[in-house]
Structure 1
Amino acid sequence: MLTHKQLRYFVDIVDAGSFSLAAERLFIAQSALSRQVKDMEQALQVPLLERGTRHLAVTPAGQSLYDDARRVLAALQQATVNARHAQRGIEGTVQLLHASSVPLTPALQAFLRSHLDRHPGVSVEVSQSSSEHQALDIAEGRADVGLARDPVLRRYPGMHYVPLYTEPLVVALPVGHALAQASKVALNDLRSEAFVATPHLDRGGLSHRVAQLCRAAGFEPRGARVRSRKWSQLALVQAGFGVAVVPASMGQLCPPGVATRPLAGEGSHTTVLALWREDASALVRQFAEALAPALHAPS
């Protein structure tokens, strides 16, 4: 049976890429680390590391153990945090995911504040994840609630996909761009423009929605030479690399040097969904079911 200490040592060795560097980081003798790995190999009856190479190499068995060990150590760390929270009287933590195109708007911040005021035993941990990855993480129990852009292409059984609100799309442009002076911008006006976040129909969320609109307008969007599907796309617009089609709530947070104009045409809107498991705990259900009335219109 492997111990927690052995798993931690093994992960540290692989992460460091050498016994010597791992020993320095752990403040223990290199010979002690080597002895731990040999004991692990003897217990498992498989080689974990190849020591005869110039750079430390991990065997297939070692890679499998490394991946599992990281998950085990993370779970143990979370268990420790949960135990400490429970001791302090905290009822639990909601793991909340949001897409980069679903910013933490004033309305969402106000909801979090009011929900936590009403439930002093609850805490919320917020992380960012793409709309498609959120569904998988929640389905497999790594997160509790997601805020994703419709459509989520791959849907999992036993999950709620609840529309929260719909908002208009806007075009983000450098302030010196000719279209920045227009009252509205049509998709056809962007036919020759470079998109700093190239829309794709094989991706879910905002990317899929914008790709649909461009195709309906009769063209395939052209990617800029520097691209990002994250929040940094607005910085790329600011730098003049191209344009972006984003939700109005995201457009309200543009940096200086970026202008936004409403996107004209039918269907120029996007919907935010709340995702959570049907068998979620009462703590998570209470949080998720309170989202819809609180976020009926983004700020």
Structure 2
Amino acid sequence: MLTHKQLRYFVDIVDAGSFSLAAERLFIAQSALSRQIKEMERHLQVPLLERDARHLEMTPAGRSLYGDARRILAALESAAIGARHAQRGIEGTVHLLHSSSVPLTHGLLECLKKHAQRHPGVSIEVSQRASEYQAMDIEQGNADVGLAREPVLRRYPGVQQSPLFSESLVVAVPATHALAGRERVTIAELRDEPFVATPHLERGGLSHRVAELCRAQGYHPRSAQVRSRKWSQLALVQAGFGIAIVPESMGRMAPEGVKLLTLDGDDVRTTVLVLWRSEDASRLAQDLVASLRAV
């Protein structure tokens, strides 16, 4: 029988994209992870992962197990939280996802604070999840509410979405960059710049929006040597690896050594969406969505 630990290790390896990064995040030896996966494959009598020195990919059996493992782990976590909350008299938990490009700004935190004050028996579990995966997690019951960047490319019939707010996009450049002396710049002027977060039309959220703007100017963004699609992209800008186009709210949290430039052009904005299950959403989830939409 597969254990909870093995399922967790398998999901963490897939999410990290490599054994070495998963081992680093889990603070265990890479060899220990390899042994656990080999034991799972021996028990199931099917290969789960195809791997070489530079690449990791799930087999068909691995993809099947990954989806089921995420649901099982989420259900176990929910059951554990529910038991603890029942003992303490807490009404329930709402699982809220947000992408790395939707930071928990003062406005959102104030909204959550007021919501918690109005619902003292409800706890809110906040996790970070890429925009393109949030709808899937909500559809599968692994989360209740999501905050994602438009567009969400893969739609699920059981998941509803509504715009929350829109904001301007800005350009983050190193303080030593040739453009740092400017206050404004256009998309066209960034044609030859390396992007530390490579925009892509096949991805949803911010990545798609930036790729769309660049394509309208007749080019595909050039990738920097070191890249990240997460919050760490601003640290890469600070270190001088390249530039990034980010929402204004995210730019305001940039570290020292990063200069923000106003992005000129038509419709250089991005929209934040709230996602939730359209038919069988719990009352707790519906209440949180209502609070968010009222901001």
TM-score range, shorter chain: 0.7 to 0.9
Q: Which residue of 54, 58, 65 corresponds with 2:41?
A: 58
* SS of residue paired to 1:259: strand
- Asked whether the 8 Å contact 1:237–1:258 carries over to 2, the reply is yes
Shift of 1:87: 2.4
| CA distance in 2 between partners of 1:212 and 1:121 (Å) | 43
Deviates more, 1:72-81 or 1:145-154: 72-81
| CA distance in 1 between partners of 2:77 and 2:291 (Å) | 29
* SS of residue paired to 2:179: helix
AA paired with 2:93?
Answer: T
Change (3 A) 1:7 1:86: same
| CA distance in 1 between partners of 2:4 and 2:179 (Å) | 58
| CA distance in 2 between partners of 1:106 and 1:273 (Å) | 18
Deviates more, 1:116-125 or 1:175-184: 175-184
Corresponding residue for 2:110? 110
1:205 matches 2:188: no
Looking at CA atoms only, which structure, 1 or 2, has the larger radius of gyration?
Answer: 1
Change (3 A) 1:171 1:253: same
TM-score computed with the length of structure 2 as normaliser: 0.79
AA paired with 1:61?
Answer: L
Gaps of 5+ in 1: 1-5, 16-49, 295-299
| CA distance in 1 between partners of 2:44 and 2:83 (Å) | 33
AA paired with 1:271?
Answer: T
Shift of 1:57: 6.9
Moved over 3 A (4+): 6-12, 62-74
AA paired with 2:283?
Answer: A
- Asked whether the 8 Å contact 1:201–1:207 carries over to 2, the reply is yes
* SS of residue paired to 1:176: coil
Corresponding residue for 1:148? 148
Change (3 A) 1:71 1:285: closer
Corresponding residue for 1:289? 290
Corresponding residue for 2:132? 132
AA paired with 2:176?
Answer: G
Shift of 1:241: 0.3
Shift of 1:74: 5.3
Change (3 A) 1:276 1:116: same
Corresponding residue for 2:180? 180
Corresponding residue for 1:260? 260
Change (3 A) 1:289 1:186: same
- Asked whether the 8 Å contact 2:6–2:40 carries over to 1, the reply is no
Q: Number of aligned residue pairs: give it.
A: 250
* SS of residue paired to 2:110: helix
| CA distance in 2 between partners of 1:191 and 1:152 (Å) | 26
Shift of 1:190: 0.4
AA paired with 1:258?
Answer: V
* SS of residue paired to 1:143: coil
1:217-252 alpha-carbon deviations (Å, 9 max, x no partner): 111110001011100100000000000000000000
Identity of aligned residues (%): 58
| CA distance in 2 between partners of 1:158 and 1:72 (Å) | 20
1:189 matches 2:210: no
* SS of residue paired to 2:184: coil
- Asked whether the 8 Å contact 1:11–1:69 carries over to 2, the reply is no
* SS of residue paired to 2:294: helix
Q: Which structure 2 residues correspond to residues 74-113 of structure 1 after superposition, within 5 A?
A: 75-113=75-113
Change (3 A) 1:126 1:79: same
Change (3 A) 1:74 1:268: closer
Gaps of 5+ in 2: 11-34, 47-60
Shift of 1:289: 1.5
Deviates more, 1:55-64 or 1:212-221: 55-64
Corresponding residue for 2:269? 269
- Asked whether the 8 Å contact 2:98–2:130 carries over to 1, the reply is yes
Corresponding residue for 1:214? 214
* SS of residue paired to 2:264: coil
AA paired with 1:220?
Answer: H
- Asked whether the 8 Å contact 2:75–2:142 carries over to 1, the reply is no
| CA distance in 1 between partners of 2:240 and 2:193 (Å) | 11
Deviates more, 1:194-203 or 1:181-190: 181-190
Change (3 A) 1:122 1:228: same
* SS of residue paired to 2:44: helix
